[in-house]
Structure 1
Amino acid sequence: MSTLKVYNSYTREKEEFQSGTPGHVGMYVCGPTVSGESHLGHARPYITFDVVYRYLTHLGYKVRYVRNITDAGHFEEEGREAEDKISKKAVLEKLEPMELVQKYTNLFHWAMERFNTVPPSIEPTATGHIVEQIEMIKDLITKGYAYEVNGSVYFDVQQYAAGHDYGKLSGRVLEELLTTTRDLEGQEEKRNKEDFALWKSAPPEHIMRWQSPWGEGFPGWHIECSAMATKYLGTRFDIHGGGMDLQFPHHESEIAQSHICNGVEPVRYWMHNNMITINGRKMGKSYNNVIKLTELFSGDHPELEKAYAPMTVRFFILQTHYRSTLDFSNEALQAAEKGLKRLMEPYAWFKALELPVTDGGSDPELDKKVRSLLVELDDFMNDDFNTARVLANLFELVPVLNSFKDKVLPIASLSFETLQWMQTKLKLYVEDILGLRNESSADDGKLKGVLDILIGLRKEARSNKDWKTSDAIRNQLAAIGIQLKDEKDGEMSWTVA
């Protein structure tokens, strides 16, 4: 079996994965800012790193997966340093800030459950780790890499860059930052324009505030993740994940802070998923194309032709390698919907099949082809979690399954060992690693129960030569997209059109 290779954003190379502690993996993924509803762009990183978590677990690692909740405000470094999104939204919605936080945290968890993501091992909140953040800031000041001005504390980027490789992750050069940084409000109290806030003094109208050695204020965005990652994963851990839009300034700042406080580069492998565009355009409020997950599931958005099921969205995301741009469109989602159905229907049939013990007579070429496709599943996942190629192989197996299902080929065309292996391998990849499921299984069970009753009534009508009732049941079901078919043995089957 091939060994796992991971593309490291820091070195820009695929590297053989080796955890710092044999048999254990520490993974930190930047979680949501719960100042509003999660949107389509949030779906990609959490589904991507859910698959990474699932696969590492399958490989036998004991994974500690930490995904934070940013609930202590969330000011941007570029221009709105004193704006706390959560405080502002709380005023607009006439809610207590933590009431707002709970509302949107619950909605985020609801969406993640519908996407069938495995909950993280630890889900720390920024507000629950103010003490750790303050201690880290004090350490940065003591070591000469941070300074206080008017109750706010800033990280001295030039001081750090003098002896460290600042900008390596994002590919940005400090000299370029100095010439391109805009003149923004509040810049005058910094030593250098590119310095970022570790702690901000809270103005009187600011709702969320904490006591600190520098007065009442609130933490910077970047220090939150450094403090929580260090607390739960140690000074150096294996994987740090997130969207590529976080490389700068967020992850670059994390590296600088953590490196100074802990004396070591914090992360062994940086992993970043690419962006989702909508009809070729970046998602943004100015384009009016930000699609909330509740809107995606309900179809209630101008960009949407219909509602899309969570599993369709998950499948759509996994069809493309996580480092490639993914363009959302109704056509793409509807194609994914059909593709998912084309995979899941024969898979569900084959999973439930009681395998016959075959005694020879298999087709050696077909047997060899199937085994080769199954072996490659591991190779593709080991090649930087290439779910796109995994799904391509699964679709090559679909015609084989359909040929068995439709009795075009006998099951004995494959050896019993290959059939057993295929059943096991498909369950592993479809459900356990890719996390796909038939989300309508409960509804299907109820539908089957209702149809069994109607089929029974139709059989009774036919036995009584009540053709009018028999035809009425068949025609009315056909009108709502359910086709009844009379079989030769007097039984009836049904399909949803």
Structure 2
Amino acid sequence: MTDLHIYNSYSRAKEKFESLVPGHVGMYVCGPTVSGESHLGHARPYITFDYVYRYLSHLGYKVRYVRNITDAGHFEEEGREAEDKISKKAVLEKLEPMELVQKYTNLFHWAMSQFNCIPPSIEPTATGHIVEQIDMIQELIAQGFAYEVNGSVYFDVRKYAEGHDYGKLSGRVIDEMLETTRDLEGQDEKRNKTDFALWKAAPPEHIMRWNSPWGEGFPGWHIECSAMATKYLGKQFDIHGGGMDLQFPHHESEIAQSTICNHTPPVRYWMHNNMITINGRKMGKSYNNVIKLTELFSGQHPELEKAYSPMTVRFFILQTHYRSTLDFGNEALQAAEKGLKRLMEAYEWLQKAPATGNGQPADAALEQKVKDLLASFAGYMNDDFGTARVLAAMFELVPVINGLKDKNIAATALSAETFSLLQAEMKLWVEDIFGLRSESAADNSKLEGVMQVLINLRKEARAKKDWGTSDAIRNQLAAIGIQLKDEKDGGMSWT
């Protein structure tokens, strides 16, 4: 397969990728809601679309990668009326909302840098695009697909479904949705239970609020992505990515809003990574298994037997196709850790090794095997980003590299040309496309050990009400760039 083929979630089929503008790709990926610290659920989509971004760039495309920051308006309509995550958390942490947003945006960026993710081309925020969201809502009202009630505005899903295939992306049927939607607070304002909020009137206690034609309020969740994608990528663009959990209602709503406003379906290829589980269970607060990325890197969580480095996690994600489920179990992570170590040790030796061989290979069969394996990388990747198959081919090359290293394979077995090709292709795929980089496991292990000693000393000081020693440990660590964080359960984590 020489051309790139992508599985389109909308058509449920692999399709040959052809960009809207030759040589250019517009890609939008739903970013985090920065109401709290990034967790393991954030690792998979952003690592996935990082290697998609890297591979498209490798193919020669100029990629505009837009990934938003949701810093307002991501409220849940189920369970309680228009609860804004940012406002609620700001009250709990006694911070200004934008102070809280900055804190968790910084932590998110730090985590992405640990994973070696390339920053997006544009990272717009919801609060920075209130005007564009209001304009889009006004257009939806003008076209008769949205209506205002008591200062809130809702999208009329039933009307949209009369002429459009609402539910196609997520595989849902609107009549079934009407029957199964629970009676929730605020439903009495809507014409239909399936209608979703574009704008919510702000109650008196709500902190984040903006003026609008309908009174003071704040935007809904779905409208921000439609507004920002349209602004930076146009009325139609190539790829929209995100987790499978966003198909409904978020992406389904995006399609409806954007199609009406822009008179065209917004996205050519919908890509969704599958979900993760933690030791066989869905990640969720009720299971007490939401693992923050700082906890993952430090090992400070009951579900973790040890700390796992950012590159181990990245490698673990690369080992499984993005559309397959992925279980973050300790046994699997530790196996990935060993696999990564084996690959990187061979890779690092290869990059430092002097040129070997001459014009004629001593082992023609081995020479051909190496060439065939290297050539297979692109074919696997062009088949819907088959990273797992590329890694499997790499591991067939590891014994060859180790054989040359240990002199079990003669240096003249490969021609100088093929040896140089092996060095160059492995560098391209390991570093540039897969984004893996070497880590000093020993140094990390020592640092984690030292930190655990300091955390234990600080816990003892706090237990004795020795606040001077407790504060001194925290402040001196902060001075060298290490932040200690006190958890509600009495535990401590560090970044």
TM-score (norm 1): 0.88
CA distance in 2, matches of 1:336, 1:3: 30
Structure 1 stretch displaced more, 312-321 or 408-417? 408-417
Aligned residue identity for 2:116: N
CA distance in 2, matches of 1:430, 1:80: 47
SS for the counterpart of 1:184 is: coil
CA contact (8 A) 1:210 1:216 kept: yes
Equivalent residues in 2 for 1:67-466 (5 A)?
Answer: 67-440=67-440
Can you list the C-alpha shifts for 1:203-235, whole angstroms capped at 9, x where unaligned? Answer: 000000000000000000000000000000000
**Larger Rg belongs to:** 1
**Percent of aligned pairs with the same residue?**
79
The change in CA–CA distance for 1:81 and 1:381 in structure 2 (over 3 A counts) is: farther
Can you list the C-alpha shifts for 1:360-384, whole angstroms capped at 9, x where unaligned? Answer: 2421111111111011100000000
CA contact (8 A) 1:197 1:220 kept: yes
Unaligned runs of 5+ in 2: 448-495
SS for the counterpart of 2:239 is: strand
Shift in Å at residue 81 of structure 1? Answer: 4.3
SS for the counterpart of 2:125 is: coil
CA distance in 2, matches of 1:31, 1:154: 23
CA distance in 1, matches of 2:441, 2:59: 29
The change in CA–CA distance for 1:412 and 1:304 in structure 2 (over 3 A counts) is: same
CA distance in 1, matches of 2:440, 2:227: 41
CA distance in 2, matches of 1:121, 1:296: 27
CA contact (8 A) 2:377 2:393 kept: yes
CA distance in 1, matches of 2:206, 2:292: 27
CA distance in 2, matches of 1:141, 1:73: 19
CA distance in 1, matches of 2:442, 2:324: 35
CA distance in 2, matches of 1:62, 1:345: 33
Structure 1 stretch displaced more, 408-417 or 28-37? 408-417
Partner residue, 2:54: 54
CA distance in 2, matches of 1:201, 1:411: 73
Partner residue, 2:461: none
Can you list the C-alpha shifts for 1:226-259, whole angstroms capped at 9, x where unaligned? Answer: 0000000000000000000000000000000000
Can you list the C-alpha shifts for 1:247-284, whole angstroms capped at 9, x where unaligned? Answer: 00000000000000000000000000001101111100
Can you list the C-alpha shifts for 1:27-62, whole angstroms capped at 9, x where unaligned? Answer: 000000000011101100000000000000000000
Partner residue, 2:39: 39
Can you list the C-alpha shifts for 1:97-133, whole angstroms capped at 9, x where unaligned? Answer: 0000000000000000000000000000000000000
Structure 1 stretch displaced more, 260-269 or 409-418? 409-418
Can you list the C-alpha shifts for 1:274-319, whole angstroms capped at 9, x where unaligned? Answer: 0110111110000001100000001000001111100000000110
CA distance in 1, matches of 2:57, 2:77: 36
Can you list the C-alpha shifts for 1:418-477, whole angstroms capped at 9, x where unaligned? Answer: 111111110010000000000339959x99xxxxxxxxxxxxxxxxxxxxxxxxxxxxxx
CA distance in 1, matches of 2:363, 2:148: 76
CA contact (8 A) 1:73 1:87 kept: no
CA distance in 2, matches of 1:199, 1:442: 52
Structure 1 stretch displaced more, 332-341 or 356-365? 356-365
SS for the counterpart of 2:48 is: helix
Can you list the C-alpha shifts for 1:174-216, whole angstroms capped at 9, x where unaligned? Answer: 0000000000001001000100000000000000000000000
CA distance in 1, matches of 2:330, 2:439: 20
Shift in Å at residue 416 of structure 1? Answer: 1.5
Structure 1 stretch displaced more, 276-285 or 43-52? 276-285
Off by >6 Å, runs of 4+ in structure 1: none
SS for the counterpart of 1:162 is: helix
Structure 1 stretch displaced more, 410-419 or 424-433? 410-419
Structure 1 stretch displaced more, 130-139 or 276-285? 276-285
Structure 1 stretch displaced more, 432-441 or 103-112? 432-441
Can you list the C-alpha shifts for 1:398-432, whole angstroms capped at 9, x where unaligned? Answer: 00000000111112111122111111110010000
CA contact (8 A) 2:357 2:411 kept: no
Count of matched residue positions in the alignment of Structure 1 and Structure 2 = 446
SS for the counterpart of 2:438 is: coil
SS for the counterpart of 1:32 is: coil
Aligned residue identity for 2:75: F
Partner residue, 2:19: 19
Shift in Å at residue 357 of structure 1? Answer: 4.8
Shift in Å at residue 74 of structure 1? Answer: 1.3
CA distance in 2, matches of 1:400, 1:41: 36
CA contact (8 A) 2:357 2:414 kept: no
Aligned residue identity for 2:320: T
